[in-house]
Amino acid sequence: MSITVSALYRYPIKSCRGMPLDEALIGDQGIMLDREYMVVDERGMFVSQRNGKTGDDLTYGVRSMCLIAPSIRGNNLTVSAPDMPGLEFPLYQATGEKLKVRVWKSVCEAQEISPMVSAWFTEYMSRERPGRYRLVRMSDNFTRASSAGFALTAFSDGFPFLVVSQESLDELNRRITGAPVAINRFRPNIVISGCSTPHAEDTMDRIEINGVIFQGHWICDRCPMPGVEQETAKKDGRPLLALAKYRRMKEGSDKVQFGRNFNHLCPGRIRVGDEVEVVYWSA
């Protein structure tokens, strides 16, 4: 049985709802428009669905970001959220203040989309955590290296691609009590199917899909986000509790792992249904 791509996702705004794709155009920083936009707080620190620590600084968690749904309409990005008016603005354009922003320890050059767009995000997100929020886009002349290797990435946590197999999700759901969880808890870019064992992606050191080569790096340490039900923004820690029983991969660590981070070594186009060739397996 061959391994194939069974789903593709991009996340135009970091930590907001993902967009399923039939095909993905891969550029210098990964899937085009993946995490090209990001919400920051008053300090210029990124905001996501979970709290976290970066050095001495706390990153704020706003769970209801999972209900912010971006979509592409022509040359515009449209955004919707519960009990909010629709929002639409041109892709690749920013007219607001130029800023230094942070993703964990990475300092990036960015520009606010516009005060009007930021006011929309401030109104919505302040319902959960009062504050001033701004939507920014990475500056065109700024490049950010991935956490390891030689690829570039936009506002991802550290790598341009997260690969998860359907078999890994099936194994997790086999161990969970109650309703199964969806793949969107784990926010992959590429979902693959047809692996002979769960978590086979852990040992895929290099794969090729339609001529695009991907180099495997760190197995993904999971933050609390898989404990957020993406359709409701409610807490549901079942997947993390289940993973803690069999996926604590590092001795002495309280982190659980699921999926693997990849760099891309060239641009190209991949599609749902493409065959995944494993060029190298780990020993």
Could you report the per-residue pLDDT of 135-181, keeping only the tens digit for each? Answer: 999 999 999 999 999 999 999 999 999 999 999 999 999 999 999 99
Query: Using an 8 Å Cβ cutoff, are 198 and 152 in contact?
Result: no
Query: For the residues 241-257, what does the mean pLDDT come to?
Result: 86
- Per-residue model confidence as pLDDT tens digits over 213-226: 999 999 999 989 99
Residue 54 has pLDDT above 70, yes or no: yes
Residue 1 has pLDDT above 80, yes or no: no
Query: For the residues 122-130, what does the mean pLDDT come to?
Result: 97
Q: Which of 10-19, 54-63, 107-116, 179-188 has the lowest mean pLDDT?
A: 54-63
* Higher-scoring residue by pLDDT: 43, 255: 43
Looking at residue 52, its pLDDT comes to 78
276: CB partners within 8 A, 6+ apart: 2, 3, 4, 5, 192, 194, 207, 208, 209
Looking at residue 283, its pLDDT comes to 65
Write out the residue limits of the CATH 2.40.33.20 domain(s) in the chain.
4-30+148-281
Residue 252 has pLDDT above 90, yes or no: no
Query: Using an 8 Å Cβ cutoff, are 163 and 259 in contact?
Result: yes
CATH of the domain spanning 4-30+148-281: 2.40.33.20
* Average pLDDT value for the chain: 95
DSSP 242: H
Question: Nearest to residue 260, comparing CAs of 197, 223, 218, 222?
Answer: 218
Task: Give the whole-number percent of the chain exceeding pLDDT 90.
Answer: 91
Residue 274 has pLDDT above 90, yes or no: yes
DSSP 22: S
**Residue whose entry in the numeric block shows the structure tokens 């979970």:** 50
**Residue whose entry in the numeric block shows the structure tokens 């194939």:** 4
**Rounded to two decimals, what is the model's pTM?**
0.95
